[in-house]
Chain A
Amino acid sequence: MGEEDYYLELCERPVQFEKANPVNCVFFDEANKQVFAVRSGGATGVVVKGPDDRNPISFRMDDKGEVKCIKFSLENKILAVQRTSKTVDFCNFIPDNSQLEYTQECKTKNANILGFCWTSSTEIVFITDQGIEFYQVLPEKRSLKLLKSHNLNVNWYMYCPESAVILLSTTVLENVLQPFHFRAGTMSKLPKFEIELPAAPKSTKPSLSERDIAMATMFKRFSCLSLPSSWDYRYGQLYVLFLRHHSRTSNSTGAEVVLYHLPREGACKKMHILKLNRTGKFALNVVDNLVVVHHQDTETSVIFDIKLRGEFDGSVTFHHPVLPARSIQPYQIPITGPAAVTSQSPVPCKLYSSSWIVFQPDIIISASQGYLWNLQVKLEPIVNLLPDKGRLMDFLLQRKECKMVILSVCSQMLSESDRASLPVIATVFDKLNHEYKKYLDAEQSYAMAVEAGQSRSSPLLKRPVRTQAVLDQSDVYTHVLSAFVEKKEMPHKFVIAVLMEYIRSLNQFQIAVQHYLHELVIKTLVQHNLFYMLHQFLQYHVLSDSKPLACLLLSLESFYPPAHQLSLDMLKRLSTANDEIVEVLLSKHQVLAALRFIRGIGGHDNISARKFLDAAKQTEDNMLFYTIFRFFEQRNQRLRGSPNFTPGEHCEEHVAFFKQIFGDQALMRPTTF
């Protein structure tokens, strides 16, 4: 297996912490993604490391018993430590606030605290075996205020910080899940739902294990337009993932992952089933909107993209792995400290180790080794693993860092060795432009909303964010097409077909084609002397009218005389290029035609007499010069009451020339009344 084959990797710079051992307890906080290394109950030090902050927070606290749970509130303002099953201790980390600990006991009698979650920098939820309690912490008063509580029997709980949803497992089978949503001091109960448990042998009691459930948000959207505040928009879609080890239907073998969609309003709905086709121990991650399923027995992982087309049976969609199973890319533990100086070779890290713990969305922790990694998806190797280009595009367009990879796929499919067929190329272009058009539309409605003054009344109106999946004409031109047309070995038929296919696709999505693409088409056609083809394209307005294009055509006249006519027609249609038309006609010595044209559109009172007289003189046709001269004399008479030219018109030279040829008496006399 070559290195280019691995499509999953651990991040290069993991968070390193002291290994877990009898004196050092390690905790992970999913909300802040921080690792706590608590030595001797905190007496000999607590070190907190997050993925972003390279400077760890370290402090000491008194050893008041075994630490069960330890977490900072958001922004590291307040530390909460649970040491007993009834109480949680707090300590302010806000400057100027007392750092003395204070304690909160759970309100429900005889309840045991299962754990707690921070939902903001000062709001905390206690989860007990008899319900949940929602508190506001008042750090300056060193006390807590109960905001709301709810009683129900709880087996276990799960928290998704991205969507601020806590899921509580209830009932004997543990499979009825009750979600709560927290936001700015409010707690709302969402409809509960039941996870269908697989049929189990009668002897064993079926139950839903916490280990088989995960929560993740996917497909966070960036454009929010005029729609009411909606959870789905702001946080992405919340999914509850259930790892079902044995299918409910006996005929299918292998485990599967069931995805329940938990909307902000309305009931939870079973949406997708990911077929794993194997059994054993699994772990789930969600990376870049992909569900990653690790399989410990084979030490490989597979990925699923629920946005890709699956088999829909009327209620749920079945998905198969996007790609063949592969191991995470082998990882070398970096040598740090003095050992790095010696030429000791780095130690390969044991992947899929039983000591790994996986957290959502993309975190893998090896407590025994003292590392926290983010799992990452590598897109380049996937290009070769997914031969269906349409599916590949669908896949890539959903990924965060897709732009350069997509452009390289485009270049590759136009290369001599890996040339794709035109229908495939068309499909790829259509997919790109579909995405591009969606963005343009969002931009446009945003601009219109701003213009209509909605920006003040609706604070939700945000400028649409341009993701990497938006590949505009300039991207495709710069990175793909301009190099492609330069390739000498390419048959020109293919080059032109590809350019036309791109233009067709843009037109199909009603995207205005940029001038440089038209120029590219013209350049290619001219290079191969395919003027008749060019003529036909222009005839059917495939190449849209523009001044630069008209000028380009004018420059082609010496190679292809009809280009002159095409250019003039185009200038005429533009209707803003009358000056250009006059210039073109004058340059062709068609002085009379130019004058008739400008008179036809009513612009003859504003033209420069000198320009026309110059052109007329150049023709060396004296009668023409006479006609033009007379025309301007009449214009002068009409506008100023005298046929004479004003000094500002700089026509002295022409008056002299006129006199020289036709004599003084030929000059028009001022009309006298």
Chain B
Amino acid sequence: MAAAAAGAGSGPWAAQEKQFPPALLSFFIYNPRFGPREGQEENKILFYHPNEVEKNEKIRNVGLCEAIVQFTRTFSPSKPAKSLHTQKNRQFFNEPEENFWMVMVVRNPIIEKQSKDGKPVIEYQEEELLDKVYSSVLRQCYSMYKLFNGTFLKAMEDGGVKLLKERLEKFFHRYLQTLHLQSCDLLDIFGGISFFPLDKMTYLKIQSFINRMEESLNIVKYTAFLYNDQLIWSGLEQDDMRILYKYLTTSLFPRHIEPELAGRDSPIRAEMPGNLQHYGRFLTGPLNLNDPDAKCRFPKIFVNTDDTYEELHLIVYKTELRPSSYTQSEASISASVHPTLDFCRRLDSIVGPQLTVLASDICEQFNINKRMSGSEKEPQFKFIYFNHMNLAEKSTVHMRKTPSVSLTSVHPDLMKILGDINSDFTRVDEDEEIIVKAMSDYWVVGKKSDRRELYVILNQKNANLIEVNEEVKKLCATQFNNIFFLD
């Protein structure tokens, strides 16, 4: 198995080796219809990163991609090439809207070795990158763009190529800096949602709260409810929620946590007279509700783009049980009409106190759950679970996400094995199970059962195949006893 590849950089020669993670080389968007004739090629390019690249090179690179896609289409008309492997880099192609192509070029990881004569020798690791991971990242780029800007086509209708180019430039200029290609893994393929486990009664209370709030604030169209970065309820459809969840948990929330951890309390509360004791505030929109000049600017989001094409304002409101505490619940609310300051005050007065009460209910649940699971000792395994049907994702491999990187607690080689198993699963429809013996006493087990995938990493010395199988069975019986998981 692929796990034969070096057991991490911990040998005596480690100091002589330098590793460079994969990096974004270029990223561009084009539409071949915009410059069909010779001499007009530049018109095809809608966005190009890095912008400093010389014009002719841009045209050449776009032309190459176009040619590859055209060429492969002759062999497979419905599924043209998705990626191109070269020694130094990999190119990923995606056509999210008809004739609009997005291309991402990623440099392969590099190991720089000292040769005997002291000269550095660069070695490209051609097989390290997983197609599925980076194709998913590319698709996510589009989804994220669409969430905040609508479709390419809509921009064309609204203001032609000029407007589209402006939007792309404005969005991707910042977004590409947040990609962090070195830490992409299996979870990027799944694009899953972590759900907060909750008892029925508390869940129904939340339902009731949301319904009442939507009734009294009638410009509210959809509501999502999260607790500690985990989703509890989404009124939005699954696909829209998936990308919004990604935005909230990897971008918006982490940005607001850092100043808090630095000990800076939100300044709004203390001076609000007659306000019930609650620590609610807007993560989007006005900072200070008492300031009559406070700007009520909310990001616009676009949902149901295949269908009703709704343009909404994203209001994110958050309460904490105590200032700067870890437990928090966030309600992300989508309103149809532009919310006014007056609306924000009403929302604050309605949602703030109730959300605080709910948060303490949930916190209680959370502690009960923790106590119940806490009695067990540190398990001998780590796992990743994903269900394609509801996008539910659970990982004990990953630590808490920070805005910059998602940290894993296992070696990258093991993560790569997980990715490989996932690729194998994609090739067949049948349920199956793959068990891999990896380096250093690790066993990796992949199970697929009716659109669910489970990956387990076991660290058991001298375990044999039968014991590993038993261990995974036990895990399924304890962690997944309420779902139908085939043995």
A contact residues, range: 35 or more
A-facing residues in B186-239 (Cβ within 8 Å): 195, 198, 200-201, 203-205, 207-208, 211-212, 214-216, 233-235, 237-238
> Which residue of A422, A497, A503, A532 contacts B237 across the interface (Cβ within 8 Å)?
A532
Please name all residues of chain B whose beta carbon is closer than 8 Å to the beta carbon of A423 when the two chains form the complex.
Answer: 212
| Cross-chain contact A507 with B204 (CB below 8 angstroms) | yes
Q: How far is the CA of A421 from the CA of B482 in the complex (A)?
A: 37
A348 at interface, CB cutoff 8 A:
no
> Which residue of A422, A493, A542, A571 contacts B200 across the interface (Cβ within 8 Å)?
A542
B484 at interface, CB cutoff 8 A:
yes
| Cross-chain contact A542 with B204 (CB below 8 angstroms) | yes
Q: How far is the CA of A536 from the CA of B238 in the complex (A)?
A: 10
| Cross-chain contact B211 with A565 (CB below 8 angstroms) | no
| Cross-chain contact B233 with A536 (CB below 8 angstroms) | yes
B-facing residues in A549-605 (Cβ within 8 Å): 561-562, 564-566, 568-569, 571-573, 581, 590, 593, 596-597, 600
> In the assembled complex, how far is the CB of residue A431 from the closest CB belonging to chain B, in whole angstroms?
16
> Which residue of B201, B215, B486 contacts A596 across the interface (Cβ within 8 Å)?
B486
Q: Which of A503, A540, A542 has the most CB of B within 10 A?
A: A540
B451 at interface, CB cutoff 8 A:
yes
| Cross-chain contact B200 with A565 (CB below 8 angstroms) | no
A-facing residues in B152-186 (Cβ within 8 Å): none
Find the A residue at minimum CB distance from B473. Answer: A600
B431 at interface, CB cutoff 8 A:
yes
| Cross-chain contact B207 with A504 (CB below 8 angstroms) | yes
A-facing residues in B460-487 (Cβ within 8 Å): 482-484, 486-487
| Cross-chain contact A568 with B484 (CB below 8 angstroms) | yes
Q: How far is the CA of A536 from the CA of B231 in the complex (A)?
A: 11
If A572-B482, A581-B484, A596-B487 touch, does A497 touch B233 (CB 8 Å cutoff)? no
Q: Which of A504, A581, A597 has the most CB of B within 10 A?
A: A504
B389 at interface, CB cutoff 8 A:
yes
B325 at interface, CB cutoff 8 A:
no
If A500-B211, A532-B234, A565-B450 touch, does A597 touch B204 (CB 8 Å cutoff)? no
Please name all residues of chain A whose beta carbon is closer than 8 Å to the beta carbon of B204 when the two chains form the complex.
Answer: 500, 503-504, 507-508, 542
- Residue-by-residue, is A589-631 near B (CB-CB < 8 Å gives 1, otherwise 0)? 0100100110010000000000000000000000000000000
Q: How far is the CA of A255 from the CA of B67 in the complex (A)?
A: 99
B-facing residues in A507-545 (Cβ within 8 Å): 507-508, 532-533, 535-536, 539-542
Q: How far is the CA of A566 from the CA of B216 in the complex (A)?
A: 33
> In the assembled complex, how far is the CB of residue B451 from the closest CB belonging to chain A, in whole angstroms?
6
Find the B residue at minimum CB distance from A501. Answer: B208
| Cross-chain contact B203 with A542 (CB below 8 angstroms) | yes
Q: How far is the CA of A562 from the CA of B387 in the complex (A)?
A: 10
B61 at interface, CB cutoff 8 A:
no
| Cross-chain contact A421 with B215 (CB below 8 angstroms) | yes
Please name all residues of chain B whose beta carbon is closer than 8 Å to the beta carbon of A508 when the two chains form the complex.
Answer: 201, 204
> Which residue of B214, B234, B487 contacts A536 across the interface (Cβ within 8 Å)?
B234
Find the B residue at minimum CB distance from A496. Answer: B211
Please name all residues of chain B whose beta carbon is closer than 8 Å to the beta carbon of A496 when the two chains form the complex.
Answer: 211
Please name all residues of chain A whose beta carbon is closer than 8 Å to the beta carbon of B369 when the two chains form the complex.
Answer: none
| Cross-chain contact A497 with B486 (CB below 8 angstroms) | no
| Cross-chain contact B390 with A535 (CB below 8 angstroms) | yes
A426 at interface, CB cutoff 8 A:
yes
Find the A residue at minimum CB distance from B210. Answer: A497
Q: How far is the CA of A566 from the CA of B389 in the complex (A)?
A: 9
- Residue-by-residue, is B400-443 near A (CB-CB < 8 Å gives 1, otherwise 0)? 00000000000000000000000000000001000000000000
If A422-B215, A497-B215 touch, does A572 touch B198 (CB 8 Å cutoff)? no
> In the assembled complex, how far is the CB of residue B283 from the closest CB belonging to chain A, in whole angstroms?
23
Please name all residues of chain B whose beta carbon is closer than 8 Å to the beta carbon of A503 when the two chains form the complex.
Answer: 204
| Cross-chain contact B450 with A568 (CB below 8 angstroms) | yes
| Cross-chain contact B215 with A539 (CB below 8 angstroms) | no
Q: How far is the CA of A477 from the CA of B392 in the complex (A)?
A: 34
> In the assembled complex, how far is the CB of residue B237 from the closest CB belonging to chain A, in whole angstroms?
6
Q: How far is the CA of A238 from the CA of B235 in the complex (A)?
A: 55
| Cross-chain contact A573 with B211 (CB below 8 angstroms) | no
Find the B residue at minimum CB distance from A584. Answer: B484
Please name all residues of chain A whose beta carbon is closer than 8 Å to the beta carbon of B234 when the two chains form the complex.
Answer: 532, 536
- Residue-by-residue, is A478-502 near B (CB-CB < 8 Å gives 1, otherwise 0)? 0000000000000001101100110
| Cross-chain contact B211 with A501 (CB below 8 angstroms) | yes
> In the assembled complex, how far is the CB of residue B357 from the closest CB belonging to chain A, in whole angstroms?
14
| Cross-chain contact B390 with A593 (CB below 8 angstroms) | no
| Cross-chain contact B483 with A569 (CB below 8 angstroms) | yes
If A572-B484, A597-B486 touch, does A422 touch B389 (CB 8 Å cutoff)? no
> Which residue of B212, B233, B390 contacts A562 across the interface (Cβ within 8 Å)?
B390
Q: How far is the CA of A565 from the CA of B485 in the complex (A)?
A: 10
> Which residue of A569, A590, A600 contacts B487 across the interface (Cβ within 8 Å)?
A600
Find the B residue at minimum CB distance from A601. Answer: B487
Q: How far is the CA of A496 from the CA of B212 in the complex (A)?
A: 12
| Cross-chain contact A593 with B200 (CB below 8 angstroms) | no
Find the A residue at minimum CB distance from B451. Answer: A565
A-facing residues in B370-407 (Cβ within 8 Å): 387, 389-390, 392
If A497-B215, A532-B237 touch, does A565 touch B484 (CB 8 Å cutoff)? yes
Closest A-B pairs by Cβ, 10 of them: A562-B389, A497-B211, A504-B204, A568-B484, A572-B484, A540-B203, A569-B483, A422-B212, A600-B487, A569-B484
List 11 additional A-B contacts (Cβ < 8 Å) besides A532-B241, A590-B431. A493-B214, A503-B204, A504-B201, A504-B208, A507-B200, A507-B204, A533-B235, A568-B484, A569-B483, A572-B482, A600-B487
Could you list 13 A-B pairs, sorted by A, with CB under 8 Å? Answer: A421-B215, A423-B212, A494-B215, A497-B211, A501-B208, A504-B204, A504-B205, A532-B237, A536-B390, A540-B203, A542-B200, A566-B389, A596-B486
